[in-house]
Amino acid sequence: MTTRPSDAGPYGSWGSPPEAYGLPGEDELASLAASCFPEFGRRWDAPLDAAYRPTVAPADGNLPAGSPARAVDHGLLSLPRVGSVPLEKIRSDFPILSERVNGHELVWLDNAATTQRPRQVIERLTYYYEHENSNVHRGAHTLAARATDAYEDARARVSDFIWAGSADSIVFVRGTTEGLNLVANAYVKPILSPGDEIIITYLEHHANIVPWQLVAEETGAVLRAAPVDDSGQIILSDYARLFNRNTRFVSMTHVSNAIGTVAPVQEMTTIARGYGVRTCVDGAQSVSHMPVDVSSIGADFFVFSGHKIFGPNGIGVTYGRGDALEAARPWQGGGNMISDVTFERTLYQRAPKNSRPAPAA
């Protein structure tokens, strides 16, 4: 059973031991240290650093001159590795990495923009088009049932992945940008009046700025931004001072796409909740790098894109708390978001099905 990221334990906010994330465990680290450096022969009992990240160990030939590891044949440094997994095994999962660019093997470092797709994702998409292709929730035949089952299974898996608590809190969208526009137009815009205020931060990607500018222009609301210090950290005291009786909503990034700042989103949502203000977190850059527990974060909405976590293009997720989703108005009409339509009136599906005109697949 997966350990919840927010559970207390010896590994802090990471919850699970390093092995659960493909990283070397404490025993493996102690063995490696002892084999390279005799002074580490006794067990190392210092606590693990909760901020530990995987590192690639170079092959012996690339070690600095004089390194004790050059003379040690212990197997662990015979091949480059990420945690306990050989780097070549990871590369073999990504067909595009066999491409040669300008005569060199492709090295992809632009993951903040988009990730490459592993073979498993490519093959699953192919299987869908070869065996399941049909409209979701729109037919009674065999292929429609297969497609609908796969679609709803994906919704449940996403819910488990971010600890949402219920698949009904997951809305599939085309990506983070559409998710933010959905929140802005379906939930926030209907509650705004002239003079009301929306808070964002100086760390935002423009996808978390422009939707709020548009709804502010249409409603007469005011957009305010929380400042950062010289190191790029949000100044929580200044953020807290932005709240007043006109504050209606806060949207914040989890991790900055430009400078990598990890925002204190749990503290920020707690402050907002103290003023009765709902929040949205842009998780486009965080969900691929750290465990995400939306219940612990405390946001009313959380959005991210599939293509930044090795998934297909054109798919993303908007998580919404049950009461927040129920309060949102339909934004785009037609398709599967309706329950019944006549010329006199339309009845809508309950959330999350009323949030999109048709399933994004």
> SS3 letters for 97-142?
HHCEECCEECCCCCCCCCCCCCHHHHHHHHHHHHHCCCCCCCCCCH
pLDDT, residue 86, reads: 86
Gap between the Cα atoms of 152 and 170, Å rounded: 10
- Pseudo-torsion of CA 96, 99, 104, 110, nearest 10°? -30
The whole-model pTM stands at: 0.75
Q: What is the pLDDT of residue 205?
A: 95
Order of strands across the sheet that contains 170-173 = 170-173, 316-320, 301-305, 278-282, 247-253, 197-201, 222-226
Q: How far is CA 159 from CA 26, 172, 197, 234, 311, in A?
A: 30, 11, 31, 29, 16
Spans of the chain, pLDDT less than 70: 1-24, 29, 32-79, 82, 331-338, 340, 348-361
230 phi, psi to nearest 5 deg: -65, -20
Instruction: Report d(CA 323, CA 169) in Å as an integer.
Output: 10
pLDDT value of position 18: 61
The two tokens of residue 134 are: 């049909």
